[in-house]
Each structure stands twice: as C-alpha cells, then as structure tokens.
Structure 1
Amino acid sequence: MLNFIAWIVVGGLAGWIASKIMKTDASMGVGLNIIVGVIGAVIGGWVVSFLLDADPELFSIGGFVTAILGSVILLAIVKALTGRK
C-alpha cells in the first residue's frame, strides 16, 4: 500500500513539473497531474529501458528525471493531437 501511495506522490510531482515545462499547468488540476505523472513515468521507463538497457528505480534521481521526461513526452503528444499551443 505504501508503494502505491509513493507512486501517486511521485507521479503527481512529476506531472506538475512536466505541466510547468510544457506550460499546460493552468488547464490541469491535481488529478490530471497525477495521471500524467504516473503514465509519464511508465513511458519514461520504457524509453530509458529501450535506449539504455536500464531499469530506473522509483526513488532515485534518475527515476524521477525519467518520470518527468516521460510526462513531458506524454504532454507533447497530447498537445500535438489536440492542436493546443
């Protein structure tokens, strides 16, 4: 249960940072930040494991940066598909 809560907290923080980077924070709420962050962490984990043959850990700087990177990628895809600038 504690690991699940940790994923939500880390995902929310990663989603919030990514929304600041992509300038979509005004249109996103806390719930969407968490969803984007968790999905972004999964995307980032896939990208890193594919490119570097690595498995980032949840509670490491590299894992957190990977979650942010994945969240930024996810937001960029959503912005491209919806036509938002």
Structure 2
Amino acid sequence: MGEAGIGWIAAIIIGGLAGWIASNFMNSNTGIFMNIILGIIGAAIASFIFSFLGVSFGGWLGYLIAGFIGACILIWVGRAIS
C-alpha cells in the first residue's frame, strides 16, 4: 500500500470497492466486510504477482485494478476448494 501512494483509509475504501466489483463480476454473494478483506488481500496478492512479472500499477486506479483481479482470484480459489 505504501508504494501505491495511498493510506490505510483509502486502501480500505478502494479494497471494499474492488471486492464488491469482483463479487458482482464473479456472481458471489459476500457481505461488505468480506468484500473489503477480499479487495485488500487480493490487491496485495495481485501486486506481488504483477511485480514478479515486471508489471506495475500506480496510485488509486492501479490499486483498484490489482484488488479486483486479486479478489477474483481469491473467489475462484475459494470456489475450487469448497
């Protein structure tokens, strides 16, 4: 989050938005708290994967994109496990 240039409050808001978009995209029925968790953890995972591949997103929009992609991955993994 620090390298994306956003603070904790913004990360929670953007993470929640990313998680909500991902849950709607993946037709998953999760609550607002789970959306925030999926978005924040998803952004961290996706940012790590993208940096490993040499791709970087910056700022709020980059964090939102990474959160969306990461949350979609987490929802998919959760469905595959259960």
Same fold flag (TM > 0.5): yes
Aligned-residue RMSD, C-alpha? 1.5
Q: Distance in 1 between matches of 2:23 and 2:14?
A: 14
Gaps of 5+ in 2: 1-5
The count of residues paired between Structure 1 and Structure 2 equals 77
Counterparts of residues 3-82 of structure 1 (less than 5 Å):
3-25=7-29, 28-51=30-53, 53-60=54-61, 62-82=62-82
The structure richer in helix per residue is 1
Work out the percentage of aligned pairs sharing the same amino acid. Answer: 39
Gaps of 5+ in 1: none
Question: What's the TM-score once normalised by structure 1's chain length?
Answer: 0.81
Runs of 4+ in structure 1 off by over 2 angstroms are 54-58
User: Which of structures 1 and 2 has the larger relative contact order (alpha carbons within 8 angstroms, sep 6+)?
Assistant: 2
Change in 2 beyond 3 A, CA 1:79/1:58: farther
Question: What's the TM-score once normalised by structure 2's chain length?
Answer: 0.84
